[in-house]
Structure 1
Amino acid sequence: MRDVARLARVSVKTVSNVVNNQPHVHPSTRSRVEKAISELGYRPNLSARGLRSGRTGVIGLAVPELRQNYFAELADAVILAAERRNLSVIVGQAGRDRQHEIDVLAHGLRQTDGLLFSPERLGTEDTDLLDVVDYPLVMLGERIFGGPTDHVTMHNVSASRAAVDHLIAQGRTRIAVLGAHPDRREDQLRAADLRVRGYRQALEVAGIPHDRSLERTVAPWHQEDGANATNELIASGVEFDAVFALNDALALGALRSLGKSGRRIPEDVALIGFDNITDGRFTLPSLSTVDAGRDEIAETAVRMLVERIEWGPRTQRPPRLHKARFHIVERESSVVTPRAHRR
Structure 2
Amino acid sequence: MTITMHDVAKLAGVSIKTVSNVVNDYQYIKPETRARVLEAIESLGYTPNLSARGLRSGRTGVISLIIPDLRNAYFAELADSVMRAAADEGLAVLIQQVGGKRAAEIEALHGPRMTNVDGILYSVLALDESDVDQLVIDTPLVLLGERIFNGPTDHVTMHNIEGARAATEHLLAQGRRRLVAFGAHPGEVIGSAGLRLVGYREALEAAGVEFDESLVVTVGNWHRADGAEGMREFLAKGIPFDGVVAFNDSIALGAMRVMQDAGIRIPADAAVIGFDDIDETRYTLPSLSTINPGRDEIARVAVQYLKERIAGGAHSIPPREYLADFELIERESSHAGG
TM-score grouping bracket, smaller chain normalisation: 0.7 to 0.9
Show the 5 A alignment for 1:129-140: 129-133=134-138, 135-140=139-144
**Is 1:295 the counterpart of 2:296 in the alignment?**
yes
Q: Which residue is equivalent to 1:254?
A: 255
Which of residues 80, 84, 87 in structure 2 aligns to 1:83?
A: 87
Report SS of the residue matched to 1:240.
coil
RMSD after superposition: 2.7
- Judge conservation of contact 1:94–1:119 (CA < 8 Å) in 2: no
- The alpha-carbon deviation at position 51 of structure 1 amounts to 2.0
Q: Which residue is equivalent to 1:113?
A: 118
**Is 1:321 the counterpart of 2:325 in the alignment?**
no
**Is 1:191 the counterpart of 2:171 in the alignment?**
no
Runs of 5+ consecutive residues of structure 1 not aligned to the other structure: none
Report SS of the residue matched to 2:245.
strand
AA aligned opposite 1:320: R
Distance in 1, matches of 2:33 and 2:84, equals 25
AA aligned opposite 1:130: L
**CA distance 1:39–1:273, change in 2 (3 Å):** same
Residues 279-334 of structure 1: per-residue CA shift (max 9 Å, x gap): 11110000100000111111111111111111124x53201111111000110000
- Judge conservation of contact 2:96–2:108 (CA < 8 Å) in 1: no
**Is 1:178 the counterpart of 2:182 in the alignment?**
yes
Q: Which residue is equivalent to 1:274?
A: 275
Distance in 2, matches of 1:93 and 1:31, equals 42
Report SS of the residue matched to 1:115.
strand
Between 84-93 and 289-298, report the one with greater CA deviation: 84-93
Distance in 1, matches of 2:185 and 2:257, equals 22
- The alpha-carbon deviation at position 38 of structure 1 amounts to 2.4
Report SS of the residue matched to 2:328.
strand
- The alpha-carbon deviation at position 96 of structure 1 amounts to 4.6
**CA distance 1:106–1:193, change in 2 (3 Å):** same
Give the percent of matched residue pairs that are identical in Structure 1 and Structure 2. Answer: 48
**CA distance 1:139–1:21, change in 2 (3 Å):** farther
Distance in 2, matches of 1:35 and 1:302, equals 30
Which of residues 41, 59, 63 in structure 1 aligns to 2:63?
A: 59
TM-score w.r.t. length of structure 2: 0.88
Q: Which residue is equivalent to 2:336?
A: 336
Distance in 2, matches of 1:178 and 1:166, equals 16
- The alpha-carbon deviation at position 49 of structure 1 amounts to 2.5
- Judge conservation of contact 1:157–1:198 (CA < 8 Å) in 2: yes
Which of residues 117, 123, 131 in structure 2 aligns to 1:126?
A: 131
Show the 5 A alignment for 1:1-12: none
Q: Which residue is equivalent to 1:151?
A: 155
Distance in 2, matches of 1:280 and 1:32, equals 48
**CA distance 1:108–1:127, change in 2 (3 Å):** farther
- Judge conservation of contact 1:223–1:251 (CA < 8 Å) in 2: yes
Report SS of the residue matched to 2:181.
strand
Between 83-92 and 240-249, report the one with greater CA deviation: 83-92
- The alpha-carbon deviation at position 127 of structure 1 amounts to 1.1
Distance in 2, matches of 1:247 and 1:194, equals 12
Residues 144-200 of structure 1: per-residue CA shift (max 9 Å, x gap): 100001111101000110111111122211110111103x15xx5111000000000
Q: Which residue is equivalent to 1:241?
A: 242
Report SS of the residue matched to 2:63.
strand
Report SS of the residue matched to 1:159.
helix
Q: Which residue is equivalent to 2:75?
A: 71
Report SS of the residue matched to 1:318.
coil
- The alpha-carbon deviation at position 50 of structure 1 amounts to 1.8
- The alpha-carbon deviation at position 87 of structure 1 amounts to 1.5
Report SS of the residue matched to 2:150.
coil
**Is 1:166 the counterpart of 2:167 in the alignment?**
no
- Judge conservation of contact 1:21–1:85 (CA < 8 Å) in 2: no
Runs of 5+ consecutive residues of structure 2 not aligned to the other structure: none
Q: Which residue is equivalent to 1:264?
A: 265
- Judge conservation of contact 1:108–1:114 (CA < 8 Å) in 2: no
Distance in 2, matches of 1:116 and 1:221, equals 22
Which of residues 87, 93, 97 in structure 2 aligns to 1:93?
A: 97
- The alpha-carbon deviation at position 131 of structure 1 amounts to 1.1
**CA distance 1:239–1:136, change in 2 (3 Å):** same
Residues 212-231 of structure 1: per-residue CA shift (max 9 Å, x gap): 10011110111111111112
**CA distance 1:36–1:216, change in 2 (3 Å):** same
Aligned length: 326
AA aligned opposite 2:325: R
Distance in 1, matches of 2:33 and 2:168, equals 53
Distance in 1, matches of 2:113 and 2:161, equals 31
